[in-house]
Structure 1
Amino acid sequence: MTVISMSDADFKNILATTASICTILQFLTGTLTCQKFVQNKSTGDISSFPFVSGCISTSLWLRYGFLIQDGSLILVNTVGATLFFAYVVTFYIYSIKKTMVIRQFSICLLFLLIVLVYIHNSKHPENARSHLGLICSGVTIVFFAAPFATLMHVIRVKNTDSLPYHLIFATFIVSLQWMMYGFILNDRFIQIPNLLGCILSGIQLSLFMIYPKNSKIYSNV
């Protein structure tokens, strides 16, 4: 009987591949939203901020990937930045509040340029890496925490219909994979935000067990 052992390098490569695929698939869910914009010829009341912030976030992580010379981060965030920029353009085309879209994108772009210029001119690569890692982590944590505004409504009405189960589940899986990848790289800037992402998405998933789809019916009996 032959025992096949997996080396740390093999596990890292497999994890990097699966995490990259899952993340890109998660990014691609934005195409469904944009498809609705095209069909309705309008963005309705949806905010452009998730698309704008996604574009800036992936751009920051892309620069971080180049700093630590990690191919997986570079690939994922190149695809992510390209997709989110396309989403922003699509949103702008069909938005009735084009001035708001331009304002949000300009502010985020200015922030991105300031960070990139600072990193480029930094004379201490290790400090630049730490500062950019902190910024990327902070931005990611804010995005993970954003859905908690909806949770108060869910708890109040005891119904999870307003929560996107599949997106939350995908976020949990993606966060778990990148957290493990961060531990392999011994990179706390990848570990910490994705650990929090696992916790926050896990809390949201628990609400589907506490308040199942028909819980509102039983709560009124």
Structure 2
Amino acid sequence: MVIENAARNVVGIMGNITCFCLFISPVPTFYKIWKKNATEDFSPLPYIAAAQNCMLWVFYGLPFVKPNNILVATVNGVGLFLEFIYLTIYFIYTRKKQRLYVLKFMVAELVLMVIVVTVTLTCTHTHTKRTLIVGILACIFSAYMYASPLSIMRMVIQTRSVKYMPFYLSLAGFLNGLCWMAYALIKLDLFIAVPNGLGALLGAVQLILYGCYYSSTMWYEDDQKPKSEVQLQAPASTVAPGGGSSEFHSIAMSSR
């Protein structure tokens, strides 16, 4: 039992590191947005999904919901803070229509969290029931976060270009999913294992697509010259058990 707990803590720390890398991987994208004063074709969906994902996993990791999972709560708390920064930057530099889109989803997410917290704390009085309710919801939103890049993956295949699919975010999502899946399997926690297993799988697919279409991508906006730097776009995801999550979000930004 002692060895099992020690191994789980070590893997959890590794998961926190990969999750943090996942959360900061969108920085180059938002630097570009700030520099150009425009969000171009970057989608806010991965960041929106990652924010909801992080909120649920922070709640899941608190002692009165799921004891002995403080690593899940802390890393997703950091991720939530960063996702709000990303969404704020996106909100400032995007078009009015997109601003309304982002605002609508963020209000809906906050309302949902108020409902989840209120119902969980007032209607359930055991860790088992609270873990079940919050864990199921966190699994659903983790799957949503990890699946958010599917539309971009389709665009990559259609256009034979990975210009708007971030390499480092995909890599971080893949590694994050592997770490948190291992964390969950040491002391079986399906709520963490299932979404992160999905995240690792989708991250691997994104990396394969990146390798297949990198050479055919025109990095310059005039689509005539190869670009010297790889452009990154970013979670959401993935997040630690949950954290994740996901922009590609994958994020998330990673999980649990």
* TM-score normalised per structure 1: 0.83
Distance 1:159 1:37 in 2: 20
* Structure 2 residue aligned with 1:12: 8
Deviations 1:21-65 (A, max 9, x none): 110121012333332232223333433332232222101100000
* Structure 1 residue aligned with 2:95: 96
* Structure 2 residue aligned with 1:197: 199
Distance 1:56 1:78 in 2: 11
- My pick for the range that moved more, 38-47 or 67-76, is 38-47
Tell me if structure 1 keeps the 8 A contact 2:42–2:164.
no
How many residues are paired up? Answer: 210
Written as runs of structure 1 = structure 2, the 5 A alignment for 1:170-181 is 170-181=172-183
Distance 1:184 1:135 in 2: 22
Distance 1:45 1:114, change over 3 A: same
* DSSP 3-state at the match of 1:68: coil
* Structure 2 residue aligned with 1:219: none
Within the candidate set 23, 28, 47, 1:27 is matched to 23
Which amino acid is 2:79 matched to?
G
Tell me if structure 1 keeps the 8 A contact 2:50–2:83.
yes
> What is the root-mean-square deviation of aligned Cα atoms in Å?
2.4
Distance 1:45 1:52 in 2: 16
Deviation of 1:162 (Å)? 4.8
* Structure 2 residue aligned with 1:3: none
* Structure 2 residue aligned with 1:106: 107
Structure ranking higher in helix proportion: 1
* Structure 2 residue aligned with 1:141: 143
Deviation of 1:156 (Å)? 4.0
Deviation of 1:77 (Å)? 0.9
Within the candidate set 65, 68, 86, 2:66 is matched to 68
Deviation of 1:160 (Å)? 4.7
Distance 1:123 1:213, change over 3 A: closer
Tell me if structure 2 keeps the 8 A contact 1:171–1:201.
yes
Deviation of 1:94 (Å)? 2.6
Deviation of 1:90 (Å)? 2.3
Which amino acid is 2:54 matched to?
T
Distance 2:24 2:8 in 1: 24
Deviation of 1:100 (Å)? 2.8
Distance 2:43 2:161 in 1: 23
* DSSP 3-state at the match of 1:7: helix
Tell me if structure 2 keeps the 8 A contact 1:58–1:77.
yes
Written as runs of structure 1 = structure 2, the 5 A alignment for 1:28-67 is 28-66=24-62, 67=65
* DSSP 3-state at the match of 1:115: helix
Greater RCO (Cα-Cα under 8 Å, separation 6 or more) = 2
Which amino acid is 1:74 matched to?
A
* TM-score normalised per structure 2: 0.73
The reply to whether residue 187 of structure 1 matches residue 189 of structure 2 is yes
Percent identity over the alignment? 26
Which amino acid is 1:11 matched to?
A
Structure showing greater Rg: 1
Distance 1:130 1:166, change over 3 A: same
